[in-house]
Amino acid sequence: MPGEGIGPEVSAATQRVLDATGVNIEWETLGARAENTDKATIGAEVLNASAIESVRRNRVALKGPMATAIAGGARSVNVALRKSLELYANLRPVRNLPGVKSHFDGVDVVIVRENTEDLYSGLEHEVVPGVVESLKIITEKASTRIAKFAFEYARKMGRKKVHAIHKANIMKMSDGLFLRSVRAVAEQYKEIEYKELIVDNACMQIVINPDQFDVLLLPNLYGDIVSDLAAGLVGGLGVVPSGNIGDECAMFEAVHGTAPDIAGQGLANPTALLMSSILMLHHLGEFHAAERVQKALIKVYKDGKHVTKDVGGNAGTLEFTDAVIAALPKA
């Protein structure tokens, strides 16, 4: 699903690199948005049914960014996709890329964000004029499911520590249920150190000393905020990947938006989607190809001659992509 704005440019670049690895991927290209819904009113179906059907059948998707109206207008296609495909885990590994300016070196944290409930349930209404209510939904089922995902991920990837991030001192019932559910799961993973931290303190600790963190496990809203904060440690949203994973299917996407200011000009940086495609290759069990793309990307960044404007270079999308393909280690 190439997406909108710079989406088709970064998607084409990513497909070229993946095809150059020789991994046998048969692409099916679809638009995620239902026709004529860009200005649709709240409540309209925003998803293209055949795109959903395709992801369900193929079980894995690579997705470019989609525009979302702020206040009013159609609901977010991104949120609708995650909900309708039950992609309950949002995975964001955050690491430095050589040559990309950042306040910290050696950052290596993984954010696991619950993706289906919390304040993203879309349950808002006007109580009386001038007063609106937004419902924060937390369930034991979704909290347990995301906790299992985080601990299983930590176990599989050899990670040592999981921090649950919460605000249970204030939201005693909702975040309290989240914490209780996570604790019950943590009990089953004795080899992994388990810690808890209140979200405001966590934000401060992350920007003072990110080294103390390994895997961070968060409900939806805190996860959304803290994952962007963590991306900021290594140079921003342009250099971090993201995967949305469920039991049945998975969707990998860049976390930046459609960048309307540079769309169609051949300037977009495909790094984030390319890094997301590395997560996708891992998910598909194509570990060798994943490592080759990762090495090529690091080589191009270390070298610094063919990187795009947003990271201080002069290259366009095409030149950067050619450089990554040329830097692929032999199969």
Active-site residues: which are they?
120, 167, 200, 224
Q: Which of 142, 154, 165, 259 binds ligand NAI (CB under 6 A)?
A: 259
Query: x/- contact string, 74-113, with ligand NAI (CB under 6 A)?
Result: ----x-----------------------------------
Query: x/- contact string, 185-224, with ligand NAI (CB under 6 A)?
Result: ----------------------------------------
Determine the Cα angle at 47 with ends 46 and 53, to 5°: 165
- Please tell me the count of residues contacting ligand NAI according to CB under 6 A: 20
- What three-state secondary structure class fits 244? strand
Pairing of strands 161-166, 193-198: parallel
H or E segment to which residue 37 belongs: none
Quick check: 11 binds ligand NAI (CB under 6 A)? no
Amino acid at site 28: E
Tell me the DSSP string of 260-306: TTTTTTT----HHHHHHHHHHHHHTT-HHHHHHHHHHHHHHHHH-TT
**Smallest separation, CB 258 to ligand NAI (Å):** 4
Size (the chain), residues: 331
**What tokens appear for 218 in the block?**
């968060």
- What three-state secondary structure class fits 213? coil
Query: x/- contact string, 275-314, with ligand NAI (CB under 6 A)?
Result: -----------------------------------x----
Q: Which of 253, 274, 297, 327 binds ligand NAI (CB under 6 A)?
A: 253
Binding region for ligand NAI (CB under 6 A) out of 48-56, 114-122, 258-266, 321-329: 258-266
Q: Which residue, 81 or 110, has its beta carbon nearer to ligand NAI?
A: 81
Radius of gyration of the chain (CA): 20
Quick check: 67 binds ligand NAI (CB under 6 A)? yes
Cα gap 93→99, rounded to integer Å: 18
Binding site for ligand NAI (CB under 6 A): 6, 10, 65-68, 78, 238, 253, 256-262, 268-269, 272, 310
